């Protein structure tokens, strides 16, 4: 029996696999975000476009640990950017609380990933 993916892993898999399966973001598909929407919606789109570009431009090292750590940093930063946009414009108390937890936890994880990379850099 297989276990369903957790939400964070499912998002990571979707982002990583999207271009390989012809999916991906509007920017990857060459389509624009709809004109209607809030400032937060535009910020979500911008965050995803930025992470797509950063991750696509990274040269892989062949070391799965290093590549994972390097690619997770912009992935987490996009989550922070999206959560901060929601905190600026969103009003739902449950989503605001979740957004604050995302900002706090993802910043901590970025710090952990950066420290790991500094410790494991090859000369």
Establish if 113 belongs to a structural domain.
yes
The model's pLDDT over 62-104, given as tens digits with 9 standing for 90+, comes to 999 999 999 999 999 999 999 999 999 999 999 999 999 999 9
Which whole-number Å values give the CA distances from 25 to 49, 50, 53, 55, 115, in the listed order?
7, 11, 11, 13, 30
Tokens of 92: 């739902």
**Residue 30 maps to a domain:** no
The band of 55, judged by pLDDT with boundaries at 50, 70 and 90, is confident
119 inside domain: yes
In a domain, 48, yes or no: yes
Q: What is the mean pLDDT of residues 41-63?
A: 88
Residue 117 is predicted with a pLDDT of 97
Q: How many domains does the chain have?
A: 1
The verdict on residue 87 lying in a domain is yes
Quick check: is 105 in a domain? yes
Which domain, by its residues, includes 46? 39-55+63-123
Q: Is residue 14 part of a domain?
A: no
């Amino acid at each position: 029996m297989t276990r369903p993916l957790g939400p964070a892993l499912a998002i990571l898999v979707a982002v990583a696999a999207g271009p390989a399966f012809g999916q991906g973001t509007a920017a990857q598909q060459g389509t624009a975000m709809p004109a209607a929407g809030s400032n937060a919606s535009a910020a979500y789109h911008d965050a995803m476009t930025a992470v797509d570009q950063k991750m696509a431009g990274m040269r892989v090292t062949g070391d799965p640990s290093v590549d994972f750590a390097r690619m997770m940093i912009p992935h987490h930063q996009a989550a922070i950017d999206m959560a901060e946009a929601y905190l600026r414009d969103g009003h739902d108390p449950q989503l605001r609380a979740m957004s604050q937890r995302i900002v706090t936890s993802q910043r901590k994880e970025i710090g952990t990933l950066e420290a790991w990379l500094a410790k494991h850099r090859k000369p």
